[in-house]
Structure 1
Amino acid sequence: MTETYKDWLNKLPYALWAYRTSIRSSTGVTLYSLLYGMEDVLLVELRIHSLRVMMEANLLESEWAKARHEELQMIDEKRLRALYHFQGYQRRIERAFNKKVRVRDLKPGDLGIYSYKK
């Protein structure tokens, strides 16, 4: 199969899935986990049973519901940790930006480098 620039529409869902399930440097977690409160299960994990899928399959329904309830209670904590991580990220970006800023003392009537001579 030859791939061309016209194939982007077929590949878009895969690109979006990759974006939503990769860890963001600004938050330290995936967008998927912030939204749903748990990590995603890849289709390959369902086809070739991963340990995580096998463990959940062997749980009784009541045990599974209890585990899911505990995960939902932890989602707020996870989101709060992501917020702290994001705030630290913003501070690092701000420091890096402020290192490059040149302070200029301007007085009323100064036009800086755009002053015109009459």
Structure 2
Amino acid sequence: MTTHALAATLDPVDPAVRSDAKSLAERLHGDTRVETAVRAMLDAVAHGARVVVMQAEEEVTPTAAAEMMGVTRQFVDRLCEDGMLPFRRLPGSRHRRIRVQDVLDAAAKREQRRAGGDAIRAALGV
């Protein structure tokens, strides 16, 4: 099996992209996890959201990781330095690359911590 790098941006600014996304989403009727995920992605594009599709093993820059997480690049740098976000350095360089899956994992952990903090504040009535 050959693997191909997949990185595509579905930009809803293009009316043809929105129309195609709506048409394809309407054709998916199954309830499998794959169909549900693809339908949700296509519905988002059809309604004006910009969707980026990447493979989990692809690598991104700290700036791209920050955009994915909705934080600053400096925060991502701190996560890397603190060992909270695995990365690799490019050979002979100070530049970092971070796997997409590691970014997603870090974002999920961060959201879990935030939700826990919100629950504690709600329980305390703060």
TM-score calculated relative to the size of structure 1: 0.29
Instruction: Choose between structure 1 and 2: higher helix proportion.
Output: 1
Name which one, 1 or 2, has greater alpha-carbon Rg.
1
**As a proportion of its length, which structure holds more strand?**
2
Higher RCO (C-alpha under 8 Å, 6+ residues apart) = 1
TM-score by length of 2: 0.28
